[in-house]
């Protein structure tokens, strides 16, 4: 199954270019319309343009996820280690997701040391993995619930925990949630959107850093994802 989405680097670049170029046109001209470059739009047209731009943004994110999945499936993921202050990383992610949490009527809290611990790993890949976990937690937590992100050093590793009070995951599904395209509530009429790539990407990124990701959950009792990353990637 790993090879079915794998593309050689050159082919992946070409596919990425061909997918992104029309998207750039849609976003570019849509933004010009929204900004009134071609004249003032009536209210109905403004709403239509806003929906076009929102759809283009979601499609762009899906394209990025598909290309990332292809890269991870093909192996040889480039990892560029650099110092990462875990407390700073956690606080930055909370600031990034706070507006979304407020819009969904959710509480978003965090716990991390004021300084350190410091990892020597790929900050982009670690941040992307945690972004997917946070986005997933917000997505599956009903209004009035809460999401919590924490980080702490444990010997030669740093442990990140993303905990929510959401709908939870049945035990029978927990072994498959990291599979590509898998949805617990699968089917055309599923309540929650998404292509089922976020958790697969999170696992792939963390494993590329030499770390692990685990889940503990019960239906209607929320979920807890634990990411463990070595202080120095070997």
Place of tokens 């990140």: 160
| pLDDT at residue 78 in the model | 82
- Tell me the mean pLDDT in the region 142-161: 95
Coil, strand, or helix at residue 152? strand
Sign of dihedral through CA atoms 124, 198, 148, 218? negative
User: Is 191 a residue whose pLDDT tops 80?
Assistant: no
Mean pLDDT is lowest, of 15-29, 104-118, 140-154, 180-194, for: 180-194
- How far apart are the C-alpha atoms of 96 and 128, rounded to whole Å? 12
The more confidently predicted of residues 198 and 148 is: 148
The 10s digit of each residue's pLDDT in 85-121 is 999 999 999 999 999 999 999 999 999 988 778 999 9
User: Is 175 a residue whose pLDDT tops 60?
Assistant: yes
| pLDDT at residue 73 in the model | 73
**Cβ atoms < 10 Å from Cβ of 94:** 18
- How far apart are the C-alpha atoms of 122 and 171, rounded to whole Å? 32
- How far apart are the C-alpha atoms of 18 and 76, rounded to whole Å? 23
| pLDDT at residue 180 in the model | 77
The 10s digit of each residue's pLDDT in 73-83 is 767 678 899 99
Percentage of residues in the chain having pLDDT higher than 90: 53
């Amino acid at each position: 199954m790993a090879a079915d989405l794998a593309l050689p680097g050159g082919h992946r670049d070409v596919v990425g270019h061909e997918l992104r170029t029309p998207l750039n046109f849609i976003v570019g001209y849509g933004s010009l319309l929204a900004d009134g470059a071609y004249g003032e739009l009536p209210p109905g047209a403004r709403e239509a343009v806003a929906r076009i731009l929102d759809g283009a943004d979601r499609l762009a994110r899906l394209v990025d996820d598909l290309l990332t999945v292809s890269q991870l499936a093909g192996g040889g993921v480039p990892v560029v280690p650099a110092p990462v202050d875990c407390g700073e990383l956690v606080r930055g992610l909370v600031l990034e997701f706070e507006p979304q949490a407020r819009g969904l009527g959710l509480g978003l809290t965090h716990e991390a040391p004021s300084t350190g611990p410091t990892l020597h790993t790929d900050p982009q890949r670690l941040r992307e993995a945690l972004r997917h976990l946070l986005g997933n937690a917000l997505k599956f937590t009903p209004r009035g619930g809460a999401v919590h992100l924490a980080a702490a050093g444990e010997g030669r590793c740093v442990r990140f925990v993303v905990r929510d009070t959401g709908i939870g995951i049945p035990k029978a599904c927990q072994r498959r949630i990291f599979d590509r395209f898998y949805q617990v509530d699968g089917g055309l009429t599923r309540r929650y959107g998404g292509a089922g790539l976020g958790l697969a990407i999170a696992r792939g990124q963390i494993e590329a850093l030499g770390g692990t990701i685990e889940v503990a959950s019960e239906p209607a009792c929320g979920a807890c994802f634990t990411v463990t990353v070595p202080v120095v990637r070997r």
